[in-house]
Amino acid sequence: MSVNGENKVSGGESTASDRPVRVYADGIYDLFHFGHARAIEQAKKSFPNTYLLVGCCNDEITNKFKGKTVMTESERYESLRHCKWVDEVIPDAPWVLTTEFLDKHKIDYVAHDALPYADASGAGNDVYEFVKSIGKFKETKRTEGISTSDIIMRIVKDYNQYVLRNLDRGYSREELGVSFVKEKRLRVNMRFKKLQEKVKEQQEKIHTVAKTAGMHHDEWLENADRWVAGFLEMFEEGCHKMGTAIRDGIQQRLMRQESEENRRLLQNGLTISEDNDDEQMSDDNEDLSVSTSK
């Protein structure tokens, strides 16, 4: 915190504002995740002007007091160096903080969550009891739902799937520590599981269709009535159009027949008239011939 342009540090002492408060955060940081990053961010933002040192325990101490890690100490150190909130990484950090360590690195405050962590005595004492007692402890908040132990638990829980995943990605069973028999058994079990999932998926689809049919039964009936009414209306309209077309066709055919009949009668009339004229001319010629002979 800042008082009159100065950063207040331990013991009520104050330093010039250009002197950053040196805050120390430590941990194992195995499988570095966003929960780690958020804790480090809180430590970095403890004061307006903070120089953040992050200590990381080596493999020997970690394996002794906490257990085996997934990442090596070098990998864990390097992960911290790539976190933007970290100003300096301190390798081989001690399990329990001492006055000598704080003085050596000119540490003003130690930042960590408030949960007690067992020290190396085996008596269940809190690792941070000392810095808490001298007023140099800054509490940070844990991020719920994420931790290295949780990540490892997920892998252990789905161990078989991850083994198959890595086998499919080109790792040998020897590299994964898997026997020939176990590999074959895992592959058979995975195929059987996929078959079960397909069957379950089909069952869910059938259930969904049946449920939908029950929910929309009335709606389907209403739609069916509307479709039938629409069909009948279209059918009636179609019949009307068909009747009109038939009637028009009959009328046109009758008109054509009448026209054809009139044309035929006209032609017959002309033929009769021509025959009468020919007969009249023949009679006149005969009369003329008789008259001449007399």
With bands split at pLDDT 50, 70 and 90, how would you rate the model's confidence at 248?
A: confident
Model confidence at 32: pLDDT above 50:
yes
Of 229 and 177, which is predicted with more confidence? 177
With bands split at pLDDT 50, 70 and 90, how would you rate the model's confidence at 213?
A: low
pLDDT, residue 117, reads 79
The C-alpha atoms of residue 188 and residue 172 are separated, in whole angstroms, by 17
Model confidence at 229: pLDDT above 80:
no
With bands split at pLDDT 50, 70 and 90, how would you rate the model's confidence at 260?
A: confident
Of 263 and 112, which is predicted with more confidence? 112
Question: Tokens for 115?
Answer: 């949960």
CA distances from 148 to 80, 81, 119, 152, 153 (A): 15, 19, 20, 6, 9
Model confidence at 84: pLDDT above 90:
yes
Name the strand (E) or helix (H) holding 53: strand 50-56
Average confidence (pLDDT) over 219-243 = 69
Give the rounded percent of residues in the chain with a pLDDT score beyond 90: 45
- DSSP state letters, 136-191: -EEEE---TT--HHHHHHHHHHTHHHHHHHHHHTT--HHHHT--HHHHHHHHHHHH
Of 181, 150, 177, 145, nearest to 162 by C-alpha is: 177
Say what the pTM is: 0.60
Edge to edge, what strands does the sheet with 50-56 contain?
88-90, 50-56, 21-27, 109-113, 137-140
The C-alpha atoms of residue 45 and residue 271 are separated, in whole angstroms, by 125
